[in-house]
Amino acid sequence: MRNFLQLFFMLGLFMATSLDLSAQVALTGSVSYTNGTFTYSSGNTSPYRVCPNVPISLSPGSATSACAGRGGVARAFYVAGSTGGGDQVEITPAQPGNIVRTNVPGYYRFCVRCNNGDMIESAPIFFTPSSRTEEGEACSSAILPVELTSFKGNDVEAGIVLDWTTDSEVNNEGFEVEFSLDARSFETIAFVSGNGTTNETQNYSYTHKTNRPGSLYYRLKQMDFDGAYEYSDVIEVMREKNNNGNIVIFPNPAHEAFTITVSNPDRLNSSVKVTDLLGKVVFEASFQADEAPDFFEKEISSLTQQMYIVTTRIGTEITSHQVANMN
């Protein structure tokens, strides 16, 4: 594949199409450090110095403008190569923000193929990994990891609201929110996207919709775009026991979804069934004695009817509840 792409760029760009050297599409690159974001222009003769693995955001000019009078844009793409030349390949920068990384001396170029066959390229923009930034600051002081300054949880009617704050972020893809009942075995319950690289304070929030009482434990798994990750400290949030009985349905009336919780500490035969008013089963689960969970929780979403019937059985006790859908 690499040889094919090399052949495509060495032959296809210059033989099958017409390379318009009189017009160029713009290209800039920006790199963010703890002391600010710096923008670099294409056409530089010597590579700009950037710290290894720091994301570079590529920002091209308008492909539509580049193909004005040429029948419109057929397609636009980036190419990358080494400063030695002759080995450029097409790349697809990672989203968001057209992010690339420099690990070896390299250049980037933006190309636009017009419908009349013209190929218009930007001037190349060169970068090289360095122990110091282009501004001369040591990489060890210019780059800080994601700095988590607070992480807390609050018990509310809808569940547990988790809030956390970062003072700075570098290469932050996002956070996996993990939940546990014993502070040892965790499961992932959500992913919250990060803000890449930024020096500004960022606030995050996630609501774990649950009515499970007792001590609940949470931690964050902060993940970089390159696959590296780091765990936060574990926090404990106490959820008060609901006094509405063994079966709780919330919210009711519902808007987008409702959650059923069933407390069954004796682990008796039990079942849960949700139907609409026509008798169509939306959800159904049953458990044998001793195999039943002591606490069962299920969210019912994608509501399309105005009313639902929730029928539960714990041992020989059967109850029915109506849930109104306000959508």
pLDDT in tens, 25-44: 999 998 888 778 889 999 88
**DSSP β-bridge partners for residue 206:** 162
Q: Which CATH number fits domain 247-324: 2.40.260.10, 2.60.40.3080, 1.10.3720.10, 1.10.3450.40?
A: 2.60.40.3080
Cβ burial of 91 (10 Å; 0-12, 13-18, 19+) is: middle
Rounded Cα distance between 178 and 189, Å, is: 6
Helices vs strands, H then E, count in the chain: 3, 25
Q: For the structural domain made of 2-142, what CATH number should be given?
A: 2.60.40
Domain ranges of the chain: 2-142, 147-239, 247-324
H/E stretch holding 16:
none
Checking if the pLDDT of 85 tops 70, the result is no
Q: How many Å is the maximal CA-CA distance in the chain?
A: 85
- pLDDT at site 1: 41
Helix, strand, coil share (%) of the chain residues, nearest 5: 5, 55, 40
Give me the residue label for tokens 């502070």. 183
pLDDT in tens, 207-266: 998 878 788 899 999 988 877 788 998 999 988 765 555 788 888 888 888 989 888 888
2-142 and 147-239 share one fold: yes
pTM of the entire predicted model: 0.50
Structurally, at CATH architecture level, domain 147-239 sits in Sandwich (2.60)
- Read off the pLDDT of each residue in 182-206 and give the average, rounded to a whole number: 88
Structure-model confidence comparison of residues 14 and 213, the more confident one: 213
The rounded Cα 154 to chain-centroid distance in angstroms is: 24
Checking if the pLDDT of 23 tops 70, the result is no
47 Cβ contact list (under 8 Å, min separation 6): 83, 105, 107, 126, 127, 128
pLDDT in tens, 51-73: 887 778 889 999 999 999 999 99
Cβ burial of 135 (10 Å; 0-12, 13-18, 19+) is: exposed
DSSP 5-28: HHHIIIIIIIIISEE-TT----EE
Angle of CA points 186, 187, 193, to nearest 5°? 115
Angle of CA points 80, 86, 87, to nearest 5°? 45
Structure-model confidence comparison of residues 311 and 2, the more confident one: 311
